[in-house]
Structure 1
Amino acid sequence: MTDPLAPLLELAGVAEAVERARVACEELRWHEAYRRRWREVRAEAGLRATQASCAVEGVRVPLSLVRELATGGGTAPVVTGALGATVLVEQWMPALGARGAADLPPLRQLLVRVHVAATGGWLDEPSVGRLRVVGPPQDLTGLGPALAGDELAARVDLLDRTVRTTQVPALVVAAVVHGELLTLRPFTAANGLVARAVARLLLTARGLDPTGSVVAEAAWAGALNPYLGAAAGFATGSPQGVAAWVRAYGDAVVVGADEARTIADAVLAGSLG
């Protein structure tokens, strides 16, 4: 059977983006901190990924607040939800050095569970963990019209089948899932939070970032308009738009690997906040 994502590897600059991301993650893997203290690095990366993902949503908070929320203090519903999504996806991440493929739920079930974690404290209950049946999404309104009802469900199921069958590199899988979720906006709200959390999981579960500490979200938080512009290009489905999105994704992973290296340095130095 033909791999549905294989043609993307022939698009301009995609193979090079895959290689840049692979090299960045491979070099990161050999940092001294990952020998014995990878759990600390991954946990800190999760806090920073949460902070950056919230910033993309327009909710900018200091890292100290994210730390406080992680220990059960403070009140900030959207940030608490984003942190819940981070904690959940990290539970599915394989341990560094683990053998065999990660055992993930089917994508639709995964999306629902991450959405519940991300929105259970602030979104209206009828919308929590449920694909939109009618009406447009409340977020990411600049990415064009979004499907609903049976058409939306069919596209999510198609994405699920694609993820289960494709053998293309993890960067391409994560980029496609992330871009497709921004395009479809399957939930009433928090679609970006869910897309970024699930994509982070896929980078680790599919072996590109076995450390689980790459913070690609840092690149997007620092360049929101390019992020949304690239997502809009992906949403058109044009070869140029899809290629530009995957290339930008590779660049974000390289930035995220640099951020992970900074975290690993701080863990070794005992200088985390």
Structure 2
Amino acid sequence: MTADSALAASLSALENLPGVAAAVQSARTACTEIRWHNALRRRSAEARAEATVRSARNSAALEGARYPVDLVRDAARGASELPDDASGQLTRAAIRVYSEAAQVEKSLAAAPAQALARLHLAAAGGLLPADQVGRPRQDGELPGDGIGEPGTAPAGAALAARLAGIIDLLSAPPSAPALVVASLVHAEILTARPFVAGNGLVARAAAHAVIVGRGLDPMGVVVWEAAHLDAGPDYHRRLLAYTTGQADAVAAWLVHCADAVVKGAGEGRVVCDAVTMGRVVGTSGA
């Protein structure tokens, strides 16, 4: 068995954890069903643009920057300006990183390190010193965000090993289950915290690129970030539990992500319905 096939087999085996297989199948079904929406026949670009705005808005909200989706949409198309404060800067970064995710989704598996660097440049460019952007943390540098206390973040050889694992996940063969790959990439970036800042935005944008690029959501309209936000404190609690490496905690995280895709497909349907009727609507979140 080659290394690639062994990795694909080990990732597929995670679907055998309690509750995971059924949850993953529900996510696949939800993604398949939304592909048949009328809006995606002739107005798919419009639907994807609106879904991307919502994904960026929810990702920024998970970092504490909560703006109405209408304002984020207008900022994304250059029709208005977000406040020039920390929340505004973070939301602009979320808009940039999701735009970049759409550019790297097809090359993510072939050039994962470069794709991560590009995502971090989009997330942190202008917010960090230039020499800290687009590269992993160096010895002595602590992460400013992510899951866990700064002093417990892996460094040196430990961080290099975690990064190598993330690269392996991103470059897993096509036979590897997309949802499992995306969920683990999401969790690994947020818990390894490879960057000085921007780990949350990069983690969610990378996971988003995985589910689109690997064909789970080829139209790019599933807004699963909305379900992560709706989970409230449970989102971070599940990620903290994931760091233990215990099988039940990993299973719980995979089930959460699968459920998030199902709910995200529902949000995507709202987007598609609005596009069909010639209008876009705000989310209920604030």
Report the TM-score, using the length of structure 2 for normalisation: 0.88
C-alpha displacement of 1:141: 4.9
Note the C-alpha offset of 1:242.
0.5
Call closer, same or farther: CA 1:143–1:200 in 2, change over 3 Å. Answer: farther
Give the one of 122, 135, 156 matched to 1:130. 135
1:131 CA displacement: 0.6
Q: Please, which moves more after superposition, 225-234 or 102-111?
A: 102-111
- Does the 8 Å CA contact 1:132/1:186 hold for their aligned counterparts? yes
Q: Distance in 2 between matches of 1:48 and 1:162?
A: 26
For the 8 Å contact 2:11–2:177, the answer to whether it is kept is no
Change (3 A) 1:60 1:244: same
3-state SS, counterpart of residue 194 of structure 2:
coil
**Cα distance change on mapping 1:44 and 1:217 into 2, 3 Å:** same
Contact 2:147/2:236 (<8 A) preserved: no
What is residue 284 of structure 2 aligned with on the other side? none
Distance 1:252 1:115 in 2: 24
Aligned-pair identity in percent equals 45
The CA distance in 2 between the partners of 1:20 and 1:67, in whole Å, is 30
Tell me which residue corresponds to 1:19. Answer: 25
Q: CA deviation at 1:14?
A: 1.1
Deviations 1:1-40 (A, max 9, x none): 3233233122111111110100100111101111111110
Equivalent residue number for residue 169 of structure 2: 162
Where in structure 2 are there 5+ consecutive unaligned residues?
83-87, 282-286
Question: Which residue is equivalent to 1:74?
Answer: 81
Give, as a single letter, the amino acid of the residue that structure 2 aligns with 1:257: A
Counterpart of 1:99 in structure 2 is none
> Which letter maps to 2:19?
G
Could you tell me how far 1:265 is from its partner in structure 2? Answer: 0.2
- The 5-angstrom pairing of residues 80-159 of structure 1 reads 80-93=92-105, 102-104=106-108, 105-133=110-138, 134-142=140-148, 145-159=152-166
Structure 1 position 147, deviation (Å): 0.8
Correspondence list, 1:50-65, <5 A: 50-65=56-71
Q: How many residues align?
A: 265
Which AA in structure 1 matches 2:91? V
Matched residue type, 2:171: R
Partner in structure 2 of residue 96 of structure 1: none
RMSD of aligned alpha carbons: 1.7
Equivalent position of 2:221 in the other structure: 213
Q: Secondary structure at the match of 1:5?
A: helix
Q: Quick one: structure 1 residues 164 and 141, their matched pair in 2 at CA, closer, same or farther if it must change by over 3 Å?
A: closer
How far did residue 66 of structure 1 move?
1.2
Please identify, of 174-183 and 65-74, the stretch whose mean Cα deviation from structure 2 is larger.
65-74
Moved more, 258-267 or 109-118: 109-118
Runs (4 or more) in structure 1 with deviation over 6 Å come to none
Aligned to 1:234: 242
> Is the 2:185–2:207 Cα contact (8 Å) retained in structure 1?
yes
Distance in 1 (alpha carbons) for counterparts of 2:161 and 2:104: 25
Distance, in Å, in 2 between the alignment partners of 1:258 and 1:245 is 20
In structure 2, the partner of 1:261 is 269
8 Å CA contact 2:132, 2:196 repeated in 1: yes
Which position in structure 1 is the counterpart of 2:12? 6
CA contact (8 A) 2:50 2:73 kept: no
| CA drift at 1:71 | 2.4
How many angstroms does 1:200 deviate by?
A: 0.5
8 Å CA contact 2:212–2:219 kept in 1: the answer is yes
2:91 and 2:170 mapped to 1: Cα distance?
28
Shift of 1:143: 6.2
Give deviations 1:44-99, integer Å, cap 9, x for gaps: 00000011001100110111221232123414211111101111111234xxxxxx
Measure, in 2, the Cα distance between the counterparts of 1:112 and 1:163: 13
Q: Output the CA distance in 1 between the equivalents of 2:137 and 2:41.
A: 44
> Higher mean Cα deviation, 125-134 or 43-52?
125-134
TM-score (norm 1): 0.92
